[in-house]
Amino acid sequence: MKPPGSSTQAFRGDTFRVPPFHEDTLVLPQLYQWHRNNSPDHPFFMFHDGTDTRAISMLELLKGMHRAAHLISATLKAVAGGTERPLVIGVLAAADTITYFTFMLGVLLTGHTIFPISPRNSPEAITQLMSETHAKCLFVGCEPAFKALAQAGLKGLGHGVQVEQMPGFGDLYPLVNIGGGNRLDSGGKLDDFAWFPEVQYDLDAPGLILHSSGSTRFPKPIIWSHRGLLMLARIPSFGQVDLASVIMGCHSMPMFHAMGVLQLTIAATTGITMSVFAPASPATFPTPTNVFEGTMITRSQLVCCAPTFIEAWSRNDQYVQYMRTMKAIMYGGGPLNKQVGDFLVSQGITIIPTYGCTEAGIVSTFLPNNPGMDWEYFLPSPHLLPEFRPMGDGTFEVVLLQHTHHTPRIINTSVKDIPAYATNDLVAPHPTKPGLWKIFGRADDQIMLSTGEKTNPGPLETILCLDPHVQSAVMFGRGRFQNGIIIDPKKEFAFASNDEFELVKFRNLIWPTVERMNTFAPQHSRIFKEMILVASSSKPFTYTAKGTARRQAVLTSYDAEIDALYTTVAQSTQSHIPAPTIWTYETTLSFVRETVESVMKKSVSPNVDLFQYGCDSLQATWIRNSILRGLRQTSPGTAQRLPSTLVYEHPSVESLAKVISASVGTDTNTKLDRIKEKIKEVDSMIAKYSTGLSTHVKSRTSDPVEGDVILLTGTTGGLGCELLHRFLSAEENVVSKVYVINRPGIDGDTLGKRQKDALAIRGLSPDLISHPKAVFLVGDLSKPYLGLVPEVFEEIRHTVTHIIHNAWRVDFNLSLKSFESNIAGLRNLVDLALASPHPQPPRLVFVSSIGVFRNPTFSGPALETSIVDPSVAVGTGYSESKYVGERILEIAHEQTPLRPITIRMGQLTGGCNGYWNEREWFPALVKSANLVGCLPDVEGTISWIQIQHAAAALAEMRNSDHPTLHIVHSRPVTWSSILQPIANRLNVPLVSYRQWLSKLETYHVGNSTLDEERARYNPALKLVEFFKSIRVHDNTEPMGTVRLDISKAVTESTTLKEKVAILGKADAAAWVDAWQRSGFLATPLPSDKV
């Protein structure tokens, strides 16, 4: 595989020869091996050891690499005899770049898989990563913190892991005396060295595993095959700059990051020399100062770093002068402040953004020619086949298609039947230069702070716009350290923007709504009073035809005011004073006293009145802001509640310390006690139904079963009907029999009648009740033998191959105790599976719910993994019971041969004929239009999936090796694209959620003694408290539903990956038709068609 045209690399430089990397003949470690005889003297690493600049040659690197391979091979003899390949070898360390780099190459040389793990992960995340990757060995840094982290992370792991200490620099590069001085071991004949034996490599075997950043609850492992690593190594040959013999500053690029892996690959094919810190243990921690000093002293011509480093360098004249002599300054991981970038470019410095992702590698050209004042824009690398999906607002989502030169590590969509990876990244085109793109944000309009944390402004702005004083609101903060917001007041509340008194008054007026909004926001996204700007009449907001503020136009218009606000806030805090990690009275007193004395520039006794001691109003503001800054780091909830008059009400160091420490303690303890009580109840239920699990004993005389024999529970509901239809359809010809178990009816109807009625109302054939493959049974899963006669139970035990457990009570008002019979039924199904005489127990598929994420504590989508923190599920008996069910199956998985699958269902819509259960919340919301004359419009996208497609996906997943999967639509659509056609059909307008809820509340409050007839006619009135309690976070969809990741699901289901139709007008029309046919919805006067 060759790039178009000729390669751009290694046309200069006399120490490096280009290896044959364009053909799939040599994998990455073999490319390095090739250099033994072709580029042995090429300077590979360069560093300053305190007295002199030193280099490590390619040959020295190769020797270090082979020493590492010998060490690893010897270590792994205790793991699977050292013969199994590839084993996953984890690294949890912060070793110096040379040692880490060399060790990674050593693992690759052995044919095993290297997995560098970020030490910033939590123990729970490490447990999850080691479990998902089945890592057999973990090399840990020598520092106590790493050892403790590894010990905690491996404690809950279901399989054994060999733990070894990460080798040091001296182990891989022993020193020898040459000419009276010390230098690195490069002497001796090549034949004298013990080279590691040659290994046979599989191009498609996993070579390296990276993990995502973990902005969601847990990071996800991303597997790179040897072929994929070659793909990365080729990327510079598609660039515009020859990198041979260029010294590149790599001091701040951690090896567990995608950029660290990029340097591992391209160094073999380009001839760059990597400038790094001198080897040391512990490794040198990168700062803006030592990184640039290391860059200068090694005469580096390139450097790659985070934007915050560049912003710091721009304030140092000496650094600016040196940057002028360099080829380029590259940055990635976040936005660079535009003023800083423009200034540096004006000084003749080349600034280049690097854009890429763990799932696909580098996306921008590496490297382009000098972009000049277009430094914010990137040129997609020619090795890619990108698709730019228009978002309708001038931005485009980056979608990377699989093709000859590039295969993304994750496939989550398709374009014209070509597998592709939808990045969820938004870019904006250059206004006059086609082909150039600027990173704009995320598809959900996230704001990326300079810290790397992200804010999804849409839901938060929506909440703030519910305030009766607010016309519109626009959040800002891209590239800054915290968010702010600009408010456009309603006309009757407008005031002169330079009136400080009115500004304070207005901030206080809307503060209750801001506090309400902050309860929904992640900690780093919360808004503080000081960060509220109010629009000026001289700069009115501009609005779209839909009545929403034009975000970018507003931010551009108020650019100067935003800059001034950040300057003011930065000047009004004492950020050099470290805040307590625990706010006891003693630690708080010390922090407050140091803050006060720093502001007032004098010593202050703890009990003296500050205003009697010369404190003025400006200093009082500085003191309060500095205290807030400290609280935001560890107790943001307390920070939100402190009044603007804090220092006036508590005017001494002593009184301030008392009120702050007491407030932090109260805030933490009450909430924790409630959560602990709930968790204790949940854990007790798990323990009760997961102890004494049976031992699976396969029978030597069990008869073979022809085809799949399904035990299906709960088929009188919507999903159950669709599953029954699916398993009895021609598409599932492998199914030979379906046992169907339902509980007795409460109204005297037979199961046959209930099943026929349920099928008919959904447009499915009632004749399925007579299908020759189906056996319909009335039972009680919580009872012995599942409530069946023993003979029938034994027949099922001996023949069943798959148990699909869909039956579960749905009532959000019940406690966990009320679901105990459901939990007992699940345990009985586990016992049934373990009692099977077959060589392997039947697959048990448990239908869980998106509702299990009652209190998401993560940002981003919920991953397809087990829930480690039970507090996520507490809140309703239903969510707690589903969590208990999931945990019981996880324990069964750990302790027995059972391989259960938990499938969490997202929001299901009506099926083929449009029927959608009228007792659910969305039909009730739609029916509210008959009462209040409008429907709500909510920002964001929804991933609701048609119920027949959900059933098909579940059927396809029943043999999956993944223990947890999600089912939602793989191609979300906007809320308004569904609600607008419904509103058109009902002849009502779409209004803001605030307006709709306000009208609904009016009817609710005015009819507090509603009789049952009125509640039946307007079921939304029963759900007012539910609609009021909707919590919108950056990881939720409209109406507060958590987003579900389906990266694994799409690999298991062709329906999700390829077949599921996009939700749209036709679906909405079908729902309305069904509701009107049943009389649930009134038929309005003729109107435009949906």
Q: How far apart are alpha carbons 143 and 731 in whole angstroms? A: 57
Confidence of residue 484 (pLDDT cuts 50, 70, 90): very high
So what's the pLDDT on residue 1005? 43
Burial class (CB in 10 A: 0-12, 13-18, 19+), 33: buried
Q: How far apart are alpha carbons 758 and 724 in whole angstroms? A: 11
Q: How far apart are alpha carbons 129 and 133 in whole angstroms? A: 6
**Domain boundaries for CATH 3.40.50.720 within the chain:** 708-907
**Where do the H-state alpha helices sit in 12-56?**
28-38
Those residues with Cβ within 8 angstroms of residue 444's Cβ, 6 or more apart along the chain or in another chain:
424, 456, 458, 940, 941, 1034
Strand ranges for 343-495 from DSSP E: 351-353, 356-357, 361-362, 377-378, 386-390, 396-401, 413-415, 418-429, 437-442, 447-448, 454-455, 470-476, 484-489
pLDDT in tens, 357-374: 889 999 999 999 999 999
So what's the pLDDT on residue 849? 95
pLDDT in tens, 576-611: 677 787 788 888 998 999 889 887 778 888 888 887
Confidence of residue 571 (pLDDT cuts 50, 70, 90): low
Burial class (CB in 10 A: 0-12, 13-18, 19+), 795: middle
Confidence of residue 616 (pLDDT cuts 50, 70, 90): low
* DSSP helix/strand/coil, 34: helix
Higher pLDDT, 1039 or 725: 725
Which structure tokens are listed for 487?
């408010």
CATH superfamily entry for domain 708-907: NAD(P)-binding Rossmann-like Domain (3.40.50.720)
- Cβ atoms of 628 and 676 closer than 8 Å: no
Tell me the percentage of the chain whose pLDDT exceeds 90. Answer: 50
Asked whether the predicted pLDDT for residue 523 surpasses 80, the reply is: no
So what's the pLDDT on residue 1001? 77
Which structure tokens are listed for 848?
């869980």
- Cβ atoms of 520 and 503 closer than 8 Å: no
Higher pLDDT, 706 or 221: 221
So what's the pLDDT on residue 608? 86
**Run of H or E residues at 44:** strand 43-48
So what's the pLDDT on residue 620? 76
pLDDT mean over 750-762? 90
So what's the pLDDT on residue 1087? 38
- What's the alpha-carbon Rg for the chain, to the nearest Å? 32
pLDDT in tens, 652-672: 899 899 888 888 865 455 556
* DSSP helix/strand/coil, 782: coil
pLDDT mean over 559-572? 79
Those residues with Cβ within 8 angstroms of residue 315's Cβ, 6 or more apart along the chain or in another chain:
none
> How many CA atoms are closer than 13 Å to the CA of 611, on its beta-carbon side?
11
pTM above 0.85, yes or no: no
Which structure tokens are listed for 725?
């239809």
pLDDT mean over 96-106? 96
pLDDT mean over 1030-1054? 84
Asked whether the predicted pLDDT for residue 99 surpasses 60, the reply is: yes
So what's the pLDDT on residue 923? 94
Q: How far apart are alpha carbons 1019 and 1013 in whole angstroms? A: 10
Q: How far apart are alpha carbons 438 and 432 in whole angstroms? A: 13
So what's the pLDDT on residue 24? 79
Relative to beta strand 302-305, strand 328-331 is parallel
Asked whether the predicted pLDDT for residue 178 surpasses 50, the reply is: no
| Fold observed for domain 447-555 | GMP Synthetase; Chain A, domain 3 (3.30.300)
Q: How far apart are alpha carbons 425 and 92 in whole angstroms? A: 29
Nearest to 421 by CA among 353, 357, 355: 357
Higher pLDDT, 307 or 849: 849
- Cβ atoms of 709 and 739 closer than 8 Å: yes
Confidence of residue 695 (pLDDT cuts 50, 70, 90): confident
- φ, ψ of residue 973 in degrees (nearest 5): -130, 165
Asked whether the predicted pLDDT for residue 2 surpasses 60, the reply is: no
So what's the pLDDT on residue 664? 82
pLDDT mean over 879-897? 96
So what's the pLDDT on residue 411? 92
pLDDT in tens, 426-436: 888 887 888 99
Which structure tokens are listed for 109?
């040389």
Q: How far apart are alpha carbons 994 and 998 in whole angstroms? A: 6
Q: Which residue has the tokens 């003693």?
A: 586
* DSSP helix/strand/coil, 625: helix
So what's the pLDDT on residue 259? 84
| Fold observed for domain 29-38+51-176+196-225 | Rossmann fold (3.40.50)
Architecture category of domain 585-669 in CATH: Orthogonal Bundle (1.10)
* DSSP helix/strand/coil, 78: helix
Q: Which of 2-11, 165-174, 624-633, 693-702 has the highest mean pLDDT?
A: 165-174
Q: How far apart are alpha carbons 704 and 779 in whole angstroms? A: 26
So what's the pLDDT on residue 339? 83
pLDDT mean over 929-952? 92
Confidence of residue 991 (pLDDT cuts 50, 70, 90): very high
Tell me the longest C-alpha to C-alpha distance in the chain.
100
Asked whether the predicted pLDDT for residue 294 surpasses 50, the reply is: yes
Average pLDDT, the chain: 85
So what's the pLDDT on residue 181? 41
> How many CA atoms are closer than 13 Å to the CA of 249, on its beta-carbon side?
30
**Domain boundaries for CATH 3.30.300.30 within the chain:** 447-555
Q: Which of 88-102, 142-156, 993-1007, 1009-1023 has the highest mean pLDDT?
A: 88-102
